[in-house]
Structure 1
Amino acid sequence: MTTENSPALLKDILGPQALATIADAGSAASPRFDRAAFLSAASDGLDALSIMERVRRIADALAAALPADYATALPVVRTMAPHLTHGFQAVAVTEYVARHGLDDFDASLAALADLTRYGTAEFAIRPFLAHDPDRTLAVMLGWTRDDNEHVRRLASEGCRPRLPWAARVPALKADPTLGAPILETLKADPAVYVRKSVANHLNDIAKDRPDWLLDRLAGWSQDEAATRWIVRHALRTLIKAGDPRALALIGVGHGAAVTVQRFAIEPATIRLGDRIAIAATLASDARDAQSLVVDYRIHYARAGGKIAAKVFKWKAFDLAGGESATLAIRQTIRDFSTRRHHIGRHAVDLIVNGRVMATAAFDLSD
């Protein structure tokens, strides 16, 4: 997922129509659901709220509309889920469990395993992990054997140390490897949906405990294609950084026997919103084929003469001995909520197997 500062229309996923759909689901689930109370509470000040603020507002509005007794309300919430029409509606419903169900642990976690099939309960599980990490992780480990891929994914995604948009869990912050038994069970999962979560979880760990991650993945057999895929994607941050051990785990040497015949960026001067074309030609200096991982790094000009660099994936491929390969890619230089551009020179590095092989540049003008 992206951040709460994403384009303004994102929050409208939980706009008036979504509120009406949730209200309809509540009314269909139980005659005790107070539709008017829900719509009044959920709509109050809605325009000013971000997407995740709306999630929390809807959860509190559900509490106003459902029976006051949580044990009585929870079956109504579970019955509502199949009537929802968007995953974020389900996220809002699971948030009700997170905000009101901590004192009914077993029933709440069973509900989250059910509700996650309709959206995701990855945010709603976090308060339970914060409240009782050992007990919650034990339940989540059991989810890894569930027949439903959404439940298995929740086991991994819910305890990611750096889950985007989610509250940090103190226990995971102190030890980001607590989910290791879950990841071990899911390391060859047949579902791409689950494997992406496992890889992202491992990549989170790489940012805090890289040596632990490299030691753990070195012990994984990569005979199965599913596990190989996870390993490669889990190592992406370390590969971008040119870590020799990470490169070795995907069968790539640190550096390569290649000559850069051309590395160019066109046009040389652009304005914000324009597109640059990056081209490179690599010639093999070796007799045998080489596995290459080619990335590029842009050194963004910042205010006050400072520089901020970001590495972008380009291509991974095998280059036959004595052969050459030409690569090309285009990138639009535009502002994002997470990146603002400044006029000035932007150097660009060509990185092959973790080493800078050439540098070019473009100028951003006003």
Structure 2
Amino acid sequence: MPFADELISRHTAQNLTRAIRAAAPDADLTALRAAARQIDPLPLRQRADLLRDALLADLPGDYAALAGSVRAARDRAPHFTGWLIWPVTGAVATRAVQQGDAASFDDAMELLASLTGRLSSEFAIRTLLRHDLDRALATIVGDWTESADADIRRLASEGTRPYLPWSVRVPQILASPGVTVPVLDALYRDESEYVRRSVANHLNDLSRDHPELVVATARRWLDYPDATTQRLVRHGLRTLVKRGHPGALELLGFPPAVLDVEGPRLDRDVVPFGGSVRFTASIRNAGDAPTRLAIDYIVHHRKANGGRTGKTFKLTTRTLAPGERVEVTREHSFKPITTRRYYPGPHAISVQVNGVESDRAEFELAAPDTP
């Protein structure tokens, strides 16, 4: 499997050049050919931007001329698909905004929708959202969410996510709580799992800044559910559950509980660098009614500056009768991984049950090569 940066490669640039040559045989594609030689050292989004700018340079003129060439490539070039579509849709959106008129904007929305099945137009749509959010949302809510094409319905949700990975932010969305909720309301019961997954991820994005809005939205959906709504809501509230948000937990059936928690108890006080630590905790329902529990654990990692940051990991869910006790255990590895850097020194582990954190068990992560 290629690294993310390699998704847009020199080969991608060469395929794009061939596709544009087939659509615009008289165009001088000097910038695209040069971009193919410059692409290797760049990260993924910069690669997309490089090819976007090269395409704009090689196809000068107004928006209509560029859109005509793109449609010709779409209709004539069989290899006009895959990751080369990202810079193409980026060029379409950029030229439409530069043109500045409503007709070009609306045509760009239509063209991006027609291309999204070849590779999602979710990154390019951000340019149009930043330029005129209200006009874009009118098309997205009025047309795209009702499309017969699942790729276009997903684009409606994915392209408007507040924190879409690899994309530029849309300040107007971040500054307007709830502005994208009508998109999600139209799609949360979509027939396609592909679309519903995007809705859940969008809801999870919103929870970063607006947890109460997200819980209220999820509660409305659960008042009128179908067979897939509970699962979608559970996925959309995952960050709030990890944070121990009481409203999200209660909505998913994990109410406040009266508990006795013993532990966690660790099997060692010093963990070798790259090694692991095993912990055990005991949880008893001290209330007078059965209670459903979401049991997680938090590793409090040491940071470079000596402070700590907690990361929550799922453990299990259980229902306990009054007086019933459950013992949970887990081995947590500190084997080096690409997504986290470990710093030797004081760490801790705690257990979180229905959003309430236990006492912390302290341990030391040894430095590399320490016996």
What TM-score do the two structures reach when normalised by structure 2? 0.84
Residue number in structure 2 paired with 1:200: 201
Q: CA deviation at 1:241?
A: 2.0
State the one-letter code of the partner of 1:237: T
Residue number in structure 2 paired with 1:21: 15
Structure 1 CA distance for aligned equivalents of residues 284 and 72 of structure 2: 62
Residue number in structure 2 paired with 1:351: 352
Q: Which runs of 5+ in 2 are unaligned?
A: none
Q: CA-to-partner distance for each residue in 1:54-98, whole Å, 9 max, x for gaps?
A: 000011122233463431332432454574487432222211112
Contact 2:275–2:335 under 8 Å retained in 1: yes
C-alpha distance 365-106 of structure 1, shift in aligned 2 (>3 A): same
Residue number in structure 2 paired with 1:164: 165
Contact 2:263–2:361 under 8 Å retained in 1: no
- SS state of the match for residue 40, structure 2? helix
C-alpha distance 290-83 of structure 1, shift in aligned 2 (>3 A): farther
State the one-letter code of the partner of 1:210: P
Pairs within 5 Å for 1:114-263: 114-141=114-141, 142-220=143-221, 221=223, 223-254=225-256, 256-260=257-261, 263=264
Structure 1 CA distance for aligned equivalents of residues 91 and 13 of structure 2: 14
- SS state of the match for residue 301, structure 2? strand
Residue number in structure 2 paired with 1:55: 48
Contact 2:73–2:80 under 8 Å retained in 1: no
Q: CA deviation at 1:257?
A: 4.8
Give RMSD over aligned pairs: 3.0
State the one-letter code of the partner of 2:70: V
Residue number in structure 1 paired with 2:91: 96
Structure 1 CA distance for aligned equivalents of residues 355 and 300 of structure 2: 16
Structure 1 CA distance for aligned equivalents of residues 271 and 216 of structure 2: 44
Identical counterparts, % of pairs: 36
Structure 1 CA distance for aligned equivalents of residues 337 and 13 of structure 2: 29
Q: CA deviation at 1:295?
A: 1.3
- SS state of the match for residue 340, structure 1? coil
Contact 1:290–1:318 under 8 Å retained in 2: yes
Give the total of aligned pairs.
358
- Name which of structure 1's ranges 356-365 and 185-194 shifts more when overlaid on structure 2: 356-365
C-alpha distance 26-285 of structure 1, shift in aligned 2 (>3 A): same
Contact 2:278–2:331 under 8 Å retained in 1: yes
State the one-letter code of the partner of 1:299: H
Contact 2:158–2:202 under 8 Å retained in 1: yes
C-alpha distance 261-222 of structure 1, shift in aligned 2 (>3 A): farther
Structure 1 CA distance for aligned equivalents of residues 280 and 11 of structure 2: 47
Q: CA-to-partner distance for each residue in 1:6-57, whole Å, 9 max, x for gaps?
A: xx943122221222222233334443455x5254232243233211000000
Structure 2 CA distance for aligned equivalents of residues 25 and 327 of structure 1: 58
Q: Which runs of 5+ in 1 are unaligned?
A: 1-7
What TM-score do the two structures reach when normalised by structure 1? 0.85
Q: CA deviation at 1:184?
A: 0.8
Structure 2 CA distance for aligned equivalents of residues 318 and 29 of structure 1: 63
Structure 1 CA distance for aligned equivalents of residues 134 and 95 of structure 2: 20
